[in-house]
Amino acid sequence: MKYYKFGDKTGRYIGRTEKYDIYTSTITGIGKDEDDHEERTQGEIYFNYGPSAGGLRESVNFRLLTPGESIRDVIINSGFKRRNVKITGDSISDAMLKVERINGFHSASHSIAYALAVEDALNVENGDLNDARIVEIELERIRSNIDVIKGLCESAGFAVPEKQLLLLREEVARIISSAFGHRYYFSVNGINSIDGDFSRISLSSIEKQFRSIYNGLLSSKIFLDRLQENGILLNPVSSGPAARAANFRYDARLDSESLIYGKYSTVMETSGDTFSRFLVRAEEIFESINIIESYDIKKSYRKHRMELNGTGEGTARIESPAGDLFYYVNINEGRLIDIQMCSPSYLNMRNFRYGLKSGNIFTDFFFVWESFGIWISELEVGFQ
């Protein structure tokens, strides 16, 4: 375990696994949660929304506490679709098929973080794959950020840019499929291996099309007005684009050694509102394109199944599109005896609530929700 140790908390808080609290370089026992909800007062009602509703892509239930128009608090029940995945006892390679399906939309991030944790546990030299893995994750980030901005356009009733972004999302899926043989990176990443032809990645058309949509959105008074001063979150306990939109320079690309990034500039905003999160997501698309182009990988990699019989504990932390993603594995003779995962959706869900109760009204709900890019699939998964 090169990058983490069990002990007292150090650095910033990353989030929670089933058994542990995670900081930037330490793993601790689970701390006390002091997350009290507002009391309902006379005349207030709970407005029930979900778990299954047309406006929700995944199953989740919200109970919005309201005196009428404003939202005073929200009780979130994300556990409806909780999946219990039988994975302990699996060989480290078999487990990969399940890990890459924890969050299918961020499967490159999950499968690479898991592979890095296994390689850390078994002391596998993996430096050769560092750059290619970064390219995969940055390409995934581009698609994910397009999707978040598409969600914001949908919330604003901006049908034309919404459809243009759906078109772009599909084009990125096709680039991923052409390079890696699968639209969601399934069966692409292995222990110390990748299957993909990086010469097929070309992003100039994506960049041009996105820039035109982005400029159009920035020139729209109505769009800006809907996003600004909405869902304000200035919480130092945050992660990913939501943290960077509030002027916290939190980024696993800067403070984790699991993957070593070269020169790259962090996108920061200061207001912490939905608009700032939109700007960070949009500008990071250009930054991810820069990163991918700076590596200029034109190689093909062939996957090989690696069954290692080693024993050990390992960790990895990477910057997935929504923030820090952490894996811990404990391996005995090539089989998993424990696996712990902390996804950015843990902190983002808490912070969505804080952002929503910061003086918003009903019509703001979808903007705030979409701007955090939360995936219930990675939040509600148990390992057995």
Partner 1 sequence: MGKLRHLDIGTGGGVSVNWFISGIRKRIKTEKLDQYQVMYPSILEGVSDYKCPTEALRNGNWDMDKCIFCRQCDLKPTGKQETYSVQHLVPDIFKKSLYLYPVDSGTCGACNVEFTSLFSPQYDSSRFKIFMANTPRHADALVVMGVHTDGMERVLQEAYDAMPEPKIVIGLGACALSGGIIGREAMEKYDIHIAGCPPTPASILNAIIEARDKR
Contact footprint for ligand SF4 (CB under 6 A): 101, 104
Chain positions 184 to 203 lying near partner 1, rule: CB under 8 A, are 184, 186-187, 195
Across the chain, the runs of DSSP E, i.e. the strands, are 5-6, 13-16, 20-23, 26-29, 45-49, 61-66, 70-71, 73-77, 83-85, 189-190, 193-194, 196-197, 300-301, 312-320, 323-332, 335-342, 360-361, 381-383
Place of tokens 């930054």: 287
Smallest distance, Å, CB 216 to partner 1? 4
Q: x/- string (CB under 8 A) for partner 1, residues 230-269?
A: ----------------------------------------
Smallest distance, Å, CB 14 to partner 1? 21
Given candidates 9, 37, 40, 101, which one binds partner 1 under the rule CB under 8 A?
101
334 touches partner 1 by CB under 8 A: no
224 binds, among ligand SF4, partner 1, none (CB under 5 to 8 A by kind): partner 1
**Residue 335 in tokens:** 């089989």
DSSP letter at 40? Answer: P
The CA distances from residue 129 to 120, 136, 200, 299, 337, in Å, are 14, 11, 17, 11, 26
80 touches partner 1 by CB under 8 A: yes
* Cα distance between residue 15 and residue 21, in whole Å: 6
Residue with smaller CB distance to ligand SF4, 78 or 330: 78
Place of tokens 């890459």: 100
Q: Could you please report the per-residue DSSP string of 100-139?
A: TTTSGGGHHHHHHHHHHHHHHHTT---GGGHHHHHHHHHH
Given candidates 30, 45, 167, 361, which one binds partner 1 under the rule CB under 8 A?
167
**Residue 29 in tokens:** 């026992």
Angle at which helices 159-180 and 204-218 cross, to 10°: 160
Chain positions 18 to 57 lying near partner 1, rule: CB under 8 A, are 51-55, 57
Q: Are the CB atoms for 321 and 145 separated by under 8 Å?
A: yes
107 binds, among partner 1, ligand SF4, none (CB under 5 to 8 A by kind): partner 1
263 binds, among partner 1, ligand SF4, none (CB under 5 to 8 A by kind): none
Of the candidates 100, 89, 95, 320, the residue with the CA atom closest to the CA atom of residue 189: 100
84 binds, among partner 1, ligand SF4, none (CB under 5 to 8 A by kind): partner 1
Q: How many residues bind partner 1 (CB under 8 A)?
A: 63
Residue with smaller CB distance to ligand SF4, 21 or 94: 94
Cβ atoms < 10 Å from Cβ of 170? 12
Q: Please name every residue paired with 361 in a beta bridge, in sequence order, or none if there are none.
A: 70
SS3 255: helix
Given candidates 239, 371, 377, 383, which one binds partner 1 under the rule CB under 8 A?
377
Residue with smaller CB distance to ligand SF4, 101 or 253: 101
384 touches partner 1 by CB under 8 A: no
Smallest distance, Å, CB 161 to partner 1? 6
57 Cβ contact list (under 8 Å, min separation 6):
none
205 touches partner 1 by CB under 8 A: no
161 touches partner 1 by CB under 8 A: yes
85 touches partner 1 by CB under 8 A: yes
81 touches partner 1 by CB under 8 A: yes
Smallest distance, Å, CB 187 to ligand SF4? 8
* Cα distance between residue 336 and residue 342, in whole Å: 17
Which residues are near partner 1 by CB under 8 A?
51-55, 57-59, 79-85, 94, 97-98, 101-105, 107, 147, 158-161, 163-164, 166-167, 169-170, 173-174, 177, 181-184, 186-187, 195, 212, 215-221, 224-225, 228-229, 271, 275, 279, 305, 375, 377
